[in-house]
Amino acid sequence: MRTTVRALLIATFSLTVLIATSPAIGDTVFDYKTAKVDSNDLSFYQPSITAEPYPLTSDMRVRNVIFCIGDGMGINQVALAGATVAGPGGKLHLERLPVSGLVRTWSANSRVTDSAAAGTALACGVKTNNGMIGMTPDEKAYCSILEAAQAKGMATGLVVTCTMSHATPASFGSHVKSRKLEPAISEQLIDNRINVLFGGGRKYFLPQSDPNSGRKDDLDLLAKARDAGYTCIHTPGQFRNVEGSHVLGLFQFDALTTGAPEPSLAMMTRKAIRLLRRANLDSTDGRYGFFLMVEGSQIDWECHANRVNGSIRQTLLFDQAVEAAVDFALKDGHTLVIVTADHETGGMTLNGGGNEDKGDAELAVKWSTKGHTGAPVGIWALGPGATRFAGVQDNTEIPKKIAQLLGIRPFPRPAK
Amino acid sequence: MRERRAILRVSATYSLEVEVGDAVHRGDKIQTVPDTEEAVVSSVSGTVESIQFDSGNHEFVIVIAPTP
């Protein structure tokens, strides 16, 4: 079948004039007031030359886990991005993972989850109410899979494009009653000594005396992090050169713009993998491996705004990060890569129309809501233990399966 | 005295029951929370002038202008 959909969409994108106002790459401090990215520009993305699945690794011990979460990334968001860049017969990198299944996403108090409850399910293996982070509805804190991995001696990392303290990363490294408590979440992320933290949200690490602060107290969390042994960075030059067992990279006061000169999600993922491997080698002779969570945070945001091109762009940026994880996993052989979403946003549907032979086929995108939906989401896996993630499962089962593969027990378990 | 615009902030998790251009009356439902009896109602009468998504707070910001 001809890839008319792809041709039409790419033709549309190619007509768009690129915005050329981004600052030159250098050691300038970021912090744009508004995003300087063009959602129509997909030139950054290199599609797979094949739709063949990646190899199914023969079962070996799982040493490392890379858990990739596309916030708001329903199956149709994946299908649309794939059709745009690879045509109806092509695949995104994440679709080439050899094991796939579906995930139910409901929360403790609603069939329509938010990212806090879904993140808690994916991180801690327990259901909670929408808005709550890392604890059950009765406010009992539960250990996240990241914290359990760390207790086992593994190096840990969180890489996101939202603020570091937004709901999904917060679920892996903090325990609070409300997702809105971002200053408190930021403190817990540092107190938890997570090795690598890359994302936005520097405002929550600055004391209120700083004009860019998002805090209402005098705590200088960057100073506290430095005292705790973190290397704190926020420029492209620092990002390129940084080394260390604990690195805090906050590249905007608020969320990332996901445009140059910020490091892309894929660049941050590659760097995090390198740092985590080194941190682990330095501290434990490489015996214990690492756990890394990577979030494509802004798919959700584009879908809340019902922006088709933005949804495609953010999904592709996320897919690039998945490709980075897969590249490492295939070379390493002991790394499990899991890709899923916390929920679907926008109720996106793809309606066909026109005639492909006449070249007027279009993939009409319709939205049923500006909120989240209760639709199941996809899951894809590669590496040792990947087959355990096949089939239909509840979101709380995912960290339980990771824990089993890492020999972590009991899990779920209350936090200390 | 002339009424001012009302700005409502509601969770972005759930669907809205209004769109830009809709006329609303005080007490009309703006958003229903699924699986609960909870609903967000308009505190003013007027016309929905804009709906923006605030990603930082994960909220919809709804501006309701008084009907002239």
CATH code at position B51: 2.40.50
User: What is the b/e burial string over B26-64, where b = at least 16 CB atoms within 10 angstroms of the residue's CB?
Assistant: eebebbbbbeeeeebebebbbbbeebebebbebbbebbb
Distance CA A377, CA A368 (A): 16
Say if A174 falls within a structural domain: yes
Do residue A167 and residue B58 have CB atoms under 8 angstroms apart? yes
Mean pLDDT, range B7-20, rounded to an integer: 95
Q: Are strands B46-54 and B59-65 parallel, antiparallel or unpaired?
A: antiparallel
pLDDT of residue A286: 53
Q: How many domains does chain A have?
A: 1
Judge contact between A103 and A378, C-beta under 8 A.
Answer: yes
- Nearest in space to A395 (alpha carbons), one of A72, A87, A126: A126
Distance CA A343, CA A301 (A): 12
User: What is the b/e burial string over A147-180, where b = at least 16 CB atoms within 10 angstroms of the residue's CB?
Assistant: bbbbeeebbbbbbbbbbbbbbbbbbbbbbbeebb
Amino acid residing at A78: V
A305 vs B: CB within 8 A: yes
- Nearest in space to A315 (alpha carbons), one of A3, A94, A97: A94
pLDDT of residue A352: 74
The count of C-alpha atoms lying within 13 angstroms of the C-alpha of A388, restricted to the half-sphere facing its C-beta, is 19
Say if B39 falls within a structural domain: yes
Scanning A157-215, the segments in alpha helix (DSSP H) are: 167-173, 182-191
- Best residue of B32, B53, B62 to probe chain A, by most A CBs closer than 10 Å: B53
* Full residue range of the structural domain in which residue A155 is found: 2-45+52-358+365-406
End-to-end distance of chain A based on CA atoms, in angstroms?
57
* Full residue range of the structural domain in which residue B19 is found: 6-65
Do residue B53 and residue A372 have CB atoms under 8 angstroms apart? no
**Distance in Å, alpha carbon of B31 to nearest chain A alpha carbon:** 10
CB atoms within 10 A of CB A303: 32
Do residue A370 and residue B15 have CB atoms under 8 angstroms apart? yes
**Distance in Å, alpha carbon of A171 to nearest chain B alpha carbon:** 16
CB pairs under 8 A between A and B: 52
* Residues in A touching B14 (Cβ below 8 Å): 112, 371-372
Say if B1 falls within a structural domain: no
**Distance in Å, alpha carbon of A183 to nearest chain B alpha carbon:** 13
- Hey, which bits of B1-68 come out as E strands? 6-11, 23-24, 29-32, 39-41, 46-54, 59-65
CATH number at residue A9: 3.40.720.10
pLDDT of residue B5: 86
Say if A151 falls within a structural domain: yes
Judge contact between A134 and A144, C-beta under 8 A.
Answer: yes
Residue B16 has what DSSP assignment?
Answer: B
A112 vs B: CB within 8 A: yes
In this predicted model, which residue has the larger pLDDT, B31 or A13?
A: B31
A115 flagged as catalytic: yes
Say if A336 falls within a structural domain: yes
> In this structure, what are the phi and psi dihedrals at residue B27, rounded to the nearest 5 degrees?
95, -10
Please report the residues numbered 365 through 404 in chain A whose beta carbons come closer than 8 angstroms to any beta carbon of chain B.
369-372, 374
Q: How many domains does chain B have?
A: 1
* Residues in B touching A114 (Cβ below 8 Å): 11, 13, 58
pLDDT averaged over 10-residue windows placed end to end, chain A, 416 residues: 40 32 39 60 90 87 97 97 90 98 97 97 98 98 98 96 98 98 98 98 98 97 98 94 97 95 96 93 68 98 96 98 98 96 97 60 87 98 97 98 97 95
Say if A376 falls within a structural domain: yes
- Condensed to tens digits (0 to 9), the pLDDT of residues B49-63 reads 999 999 999 999 999
pLDDT of residue A7: 39
- Nearest in space to A195 (alpha carbons), one of A229, A163, A155: A155
CA dihedral sign, ordered A340, A346, A347, A349: negative
pLDDT of residue A27: 42
pLDDT of residue A366: 95
Say if A413 falls within a structural domain: no
pLDDT of residue A280: 74
Peptide bond between residue A410 and the one before it cis (omega within 30 degrees of 0): yes
Residues in B whose CB is inside 8 Å of some CB of A read: 11-16, 33-36, 51, 53, 55-58, 60
A283 vs B: CB within 8 A: no
Say if B29 falls within a structural domain: yes
For every residue of A343-377, DSSP letters joined together read: -EES--EEE--S-GGGT----EEE-S-SSEE---E
pLDDT of residue A361: 60
pLDDT of residue A9: 42
- Best residue of A112, A162, A164 to probe chain B, by most B CBs closer than 10 Å: A112
pLDDT of residue A289: 94
